[in-house]
Amino acid sequence: MIGVEWSLLKKDVNMGMNLEMAKKILQSAVVAAKGMGKIVSIAVVDENGWLVALHRMDGAAIPTAEIARDKGWTAAVFRLPSSEVYQFGDPRTPGYGFNVQNWNERLTPIAGGMPIWNEGCLIGAIGICSENPKEDVIICQKVLEASSLWL
Amino acid sequence: MKELTLELALKMLEAAERWAGDIAGFPCSIAVVDKSGTVTAVHRMDGAGMATTDIAIKKAWTVVAFKMPTLMGSRWIDPRSMGKRIGDHAMGIIGMAKGKICFIPGGIPITNDENEVIGGIGCSGVPSGVGDISDTSVSQAGIIALYE
């Protein structure tokens, strides 16, 4: 193809999540969690919300694995941090009517899920779960900062 | 080993992934659960179907719940054993435990030195359950990595 500006085309191509990237993200999350002295579960999902990799650190509570996956799903499909999804169920919102009950078993408004963006493209999301959602968000932000270096 | 740790689980996953990619040649999902049936680590290889993670997790859960390979239970839901002998099948098990039971071959228990089940490994994505190149053999590659 002559006359095609490949560098412009490349931006439109969504590279998506692969296992190698997921492993890197999980590793940096485990390092960040250990640095804060937290035991967490970490889930990495692809751009459509499907699980790519999940690690539950030794001693993490049993439900954290599933909640981490839920947070990752919510962040990926809404393309928002999972803590901001509550706004769809806010009765003050115009067009309120989003069915928050029994709509999807994965939807969660708990903080700790963050979408991962690369040059305007969503490539996936990360969900972290421990006892305290506030600390999950801090770990998420550390991971996103670390991943922005090699993405 | 006494307890299944994340480190051991990752060692198993790495070996199983290498086997699935290089020898079997099928991308697949592999899950390791501990003795509570909860996921310790899951990996979905590039190109594996998106539903395979759930099936791999369910296979590994079933292994721990029944303390036996899923291959052993698959004869319970085999329609060919219907009506031959009373008690030879257990069709009613389909859909039990909130749909978590999955008796597709491919899950193997992880045992400690006293032969107690301390976890399970499940694989999904290879288009065959039993044989040289199958879900079961990918899981076996993971188990072998524990004894290296």
pLDDT one-digit tens code per residue, B20-34: 999 999 999 999 999
Orientation of helix B135-146 relative to helix B6-18, angle to 10°: 130
Q: Are A75 and A125 in contact (CB under 8 A)?
A: yes
Q: What is the pLDDT of residue B24?
A: 92
Q: Per residue in A93-135, pLDDT tens?
A: 776 666 656 678 898 989 999 999 988 889 999 999 999 999 9
**Residues on chain A bordering chain B, Cβ-to-Cβ distance under 8 angstroms:** 18-20, 22-23, 46, 48, 50-58, 62, 65-66
pTM for the whole structure: 0.90
- Given an 8 Å threshold on Cβ–Cβ distance, is A53 in contact with B38? no
Query: Confidence class of residue A144 from pLDDT cuts 50, 70 and 90?
Result: very high
- The lowest-confidence range among A116-120, B5-9, B27-31, B40-44 is A116-120
Whether the per-residue pLDDT at A88 is higher than 80: the answer is no
Residue B120: how many CB atoms within 10 A of its CB?
31
Residues from chain A that touch B38, judged by Cβ atoms under 8 A, are 56, 62, 65
Longest dimension (CA), chain A: 57
Statement: residue A2 has pLDDT above 90:
no
| pLDDT, position A13 | 52
Q: What is the ipTM of this complex?
A: 0.90
Q: Which domains does chain B have, with CATH numbers?
A: 6-70+102-146 (3.30.450.150)
The answer to whether the Cβ–Cβ distance between A19 and B44 falls below 8 Å is: yes
Contact yes or no for B38 and A65 at CB 8 A: yes
Residues of A in contact with B6 (CB under 8 A): 55-58
For the purposes of burial, counting CB atoms within 10 Å of the CB of A107, is it exposed (0-12), middle (13-18) or buried (19 or more)?
Answer: buried
- Which domains does chain A possess? 15-91+103-150 (3.30.450.150)
For the segment A33-39, the average pLDDT, to the nearest whole number, is 95
Task: State whether residue B1 sits within 8 Å of chain A by CB.
Answer: no
Q: Contact A58/B45, CB-based, under 8 Å?
A: no
What mean pLDDT is reported for chain B?
A: 93
* Residue A143 near residue A32 (C-beta atoms within 8 A): yes
**Which chain B residues are within 8 Å of A58, Cβ to Cβ?**
3, 5-6
In whole angstroms, give the CA distance from residue B58 to residue B45: 17
B5 contacts chain A (CB < 8 A): yes
Residues of B within 8 A of A33 (CB-CB) are none
Half-sphere exposure of B76 (CA within 13 A, CB side): 18
Find where tokens 């954290």 sit: A64
B73 Cβ contact list (under 8 Å, min separation 6): B62, B66, B93, B103
By DSSP bridging, strand B39-44 and strand A113-118 are unpaired
Burial class of A25 by CB neighbour count within 10 A (0 to 12, 13 to 18, 19+): buried
Predicted local confidence at residue A99, as pLDDT: 60
